[in-house]
Structure 1
Amino acid sequence: MIARRRFLSLIAAGSTAFLPLSRARAGQMPESVVWRGAVLGAAASMTLVHPDRAYARSAIDDCIEEITRLEGIFSLYRVDSEISRLNTHGELRAPAHELVELLSFGLALSAQSNGAFDPTVQPLYRLYADHFAAPHAATSGPLSEAIAQAMRLVDFTQVELQSDRIRLRRPGMAITLNGLAQGYITDRVADRLRAVGFEDVLIDLGETRALGRHADGSAWRAAVQDPRDPARTLFELTLDSGGGTASALATSAGQGTRFGSDPRNHHLLDPHTGRSANHYLSVSVVAGRATVADGLSTALSIVPPSAAEKLLAAYPSARAYLLTPEGDLQTRAAA
């Protein structure tokens, strides 16, 4: 059984004596309208601050429709999704522009991370998932020969991407965008809400993005849990949507999706070794967009620690929080 844990939590607003006048609309005081559900298999929520509850609920319904549409593109659990059809046939004609856009970003991140982030890692992930799903599976993981065979199908340079066609050049290749899709959907929903006039929103669709503030005027805040002890908070921070550089937060941790009983076997697989990367216990990234935070938290979990600042140099507004196996919390940003 593969367990999935999350390490981000949102902190309730404090009380304030009064609200800024800009937060009162048409003589009404804003209130929070909350939706809870699931997106791509993860617990999710949206909080919209608005004086018109019916309008907010209508906007949430519209966002849910958009989320469902995007899951039809990115979900690996739906056999009819675009990404599943690409993996089955090795080619997809007339792909949705969202798939082209996100895969393009993923391939660029692959090149920037020297292949540490690789959308074609899916055959390796499937090998581990199948191995540990079998009765009496070896706790050490798949045999080296099986890993080497799967790694022959992992190579981001063998993805042919055009606006009207995606092709995987080697038979048996498959892609996953699970290291990006939650962040991307989060950004799409945030942009959609902002376009129809919502200024104060907190979106948590596996990754987190904030606009504006709580209904009481206080800033949105998030906490990152210690993967060694879920009851302990590793750190807290304010999601500042004002400047746009720290409005999104994503966390990757091996403990989030473990294979078997050995915590060293998990979903953060290094395409260069075929084994799980264990440089850190968790990696959290703050950025202006959730797609960037999502992708960087995965890539930084896998690249050698000496390469972290070089990777971050391509995203100068991003900041990373790295928890080492010894329990030290390090902060990194572009040099």
Structure 2
Amino acid sequence: MVLETITRRRMIGISAAAAGMALLPLYGRAALEAVTWQGEAMGAQASLVIHHPDRAKAQGLVAATVAEVRRLERIFSLYREDSDLTRLNRQGFLVAPPKELVDILQQSRKVWALTGGAFDPTVQPLWEAYSRHFSTPGASETGPSAKIVGERLGRVGLDRLVCSPERIELPVRGAALTLNGIAQGYVTDRVVELLKAGGIERSMVDMGESRAIGSAPGGRPWRVGISDPLHAETVLKVLEVEDRAVATSSPYGFRFDSEGKFSHIIDPRSGATPQRHASVTVAAGQATIADAFSTAFNLMDTATVATVIGNSEGLEAYLLSHEGKWRHIPARTPVLVSKAL
């Protein structure tokens, strides 16, 4: 049986096949021509299965994929002391930055503009304020003071970031970046490019966000399951996709306080954590775009989300309310396949 349904955020995995090859189960017994790898990538357990008539080619693709993920982690990770992002946050500037860091910030700026600032990687000082507050014994359940939030908001603003191939510079002392709302999508897109260049014509790539290459076996769409934000093992909705990316964000993913009033999705415009939706899933042509918009849409009401989608190309969203109701906002223009079951 072919594994065609990927459940959001359970495990990072790739099942890929060259032209004319059959795909086998991602976590099942592999055929002789399949090359597999298991380990850790992007902070999660990972599994890669590459099917190719040339075993050496398959081995090369597995090795190249793992190496690319490791390389990008050394650029984007907030949790590695030696990453380029960590160095930028520590010293406030970066000379001759990696082209991938410039690229992801340029893409971030486009989403920032389209969402009216709801997506902003410079939100990190606010995240640090919430984290520090709620890790302090006896901290007030009402969250950081208005004075602290206001001071941290003064460090936020992607429009003030200096970004060029020659230099990246943070706007003010104490400013910092996080790419947690876009990096997984970016890594997914880079892996897709690598696999396509290696002759892969069918694949489901999940590097924290999912992106399908072509169709599933039998010419059917790939199936991506959207999990219940409170019970990850339960699939609430299944999307059928071809050559599309899917990303899901939810305030339930992480909450600073025991009562769940303050989530990790912080509005960079106000410093609040409004939790307008239980989860937001976005389908788009690229995982980078889907990832960033799924984060931003959590901070917007339904009408504003619909306006943004109406001004965008090939973007659609599935909003889950806290009462368990779904709202589908379709793309402005038709896409190949992207429907819910």
Deviation at 1:218, TM superposition (A): 5.1
Map of 1:318 onto structure 2:
315
Asked whether the 8 Å contact 2:102–2:164 carries over to 1, the reply is yes
Contact 2:278 2:320 in 1 (8 A): yes
| Structure 2 runs not aligned, ≥5 long | 1-6, 12-18, 23-30, 333-341
Tell me: CA distance 1:319–1:313, structure 2 relative to 1, closer, same or farther (3 Å).
same
Decide whether aligned partners of structure 1 residues 141 and 321 sit closer, same or farther in structure 2, where only a CA change above 3 A counts: same
1:139 Cα deviation after fit: 3.1
Q: Which residue of 1 aligns with 2:264?
A: 267
Q: Is the 8 A contact 1:43 1:205 kept in 2?
A: no
Cα 1:56–1:134, aligned 2, differ >3 Å: closer, same or farther?
farther
Describe the SS at the equivalent of 1:296.
Answer: helix
Question: Structure 1 residues 125, 42: closer, same or farther in 2, change over 3 A?
Answer: farther
What is the aligned counterpart of 2:129 among 114, 127, 133? 127
Contact 2:65 2:191 in 1 (8 A): yes
**SS of 1:302 mapped into structure 2:** coil
Match of 1:16 in 2: none
Choose which of 250, 254, 261 in structure 2 pairs with 1:257. 254
Alignment partner of 1:296 is 2:293: yes
1:331 equivalenced with 2:328 (yes/no): yes
Match of residue 111 from structure 1: 113
Task: Say whether the 8 Å CA contact 1:249–1:290 is kept in structure 2.
Answer: yes
Note if contact 1:75-1:84 (Cα within 8 Å) is conserved in structure 2: yes
Q: Does structure 1 conserve the Cα–Cα contact (< 8 Å) formed by 2:121 and 2:179? A: yes
1:200 aligns with 2:217: no
How well do the aligned residues superpose, as a CA RMSD in angstroms? Answer: 2.6
Structure 1 counterpart of 2:228: 226
Correspondence for 1:65:
67
- Using a 3 Å threshold, how does the CA distance of structure 1 residues 181 and 174 change in structure 2: closer, same or farther? same
Superposed displacement of residue 71, structure 1 = 0.8
Residues 247 and 283 in structure 2, CA contact (< 8 A), matched pair in contact too: yes
Distance 1:160 1:192 in 2: 30
Task: Work out the CA distance in 2 between the residues paired with 1:52 and 1:239.
Answer: 28
Query: Could you tell me how far apart the structure 2 residues matched to 1:53 and 1:279 are?
Result: 49
Q: Give the number of aligned pairs.
A: 314
Per-residue deviation at 1:31?
A: 6.0
Share of identical aligned residues, percent?
Answer: 39
Which amino acid in 2 is paired with 1:285?
V
Report the alpha carbon displacement of residue 292 of structure 1 after superposing the two structures with TM. 0.9
Compute the displacement of 1:256 (Å): 0.9
Is this contact kept in 1: 2:8–2:224, CA < 8 A?
no
Q: TM-score when scaled to structure 1?
A: 0.86
Read off the aligned partner of 2:192 and give its amino acid letter: A
State the AA in 2 paired with 1:290.
A
- Assess if the C-alpha contact under 8 Å between 1:30 and 1:215 holds in 2: no
Question: What is the CA distance between 1:70 and its match in structure 2?
Answer: 0.7
Unaligned runs of 5+ residues in structure 1 are 1-5, 11-20, 242-246
In 1, the alpha carbon distance for the partners of 2:240 and 2:32 equals 21
**1:105-159: CA deviation from partner (whole Å, max 9, x where unpaired):** 1011111111111110000011112222223333332222211111111111110
1:285 and 2:287 are equivalent in the alignment: no
Question: What is the aligned partner in structure 2 of residue 77 from structure 1?
Answer: 79
For the Cα contact (< 8 Å) 1:209–1:289, is it kept in 2? yes
Q: How does 1:29-48 map to 2 (within 5 A)?
A: 33-48=35-50
1:33 & 1:314 partners in 2: Cα distance? 43
1:22 aligns with one of 16, 20, 23: 20
- The one of 152, 176, 182 equivalent to 1:180 is 182
Q: Measure how far apart 1:7 and its partner are.
A: 4.1
Instruction: Kindly indicate whether the alpha-carbon contact (under 8 Å) linking 2:92 and 2:170 is maintained by their aligned counterparts in 1.
Output: yes
The change in CA–CA distance for 1:317 and 1:287 in structure 2 (over 3 A counts) is same
Rounded to whole Å, the distance in 1 between the matches of 2:283 and 2:88 is 32
Shift, 1:54, TM fit: 4.6
Instruction: Decide which of 303, 306, 309 is 1:306's aligned counterpart.
Output: 303
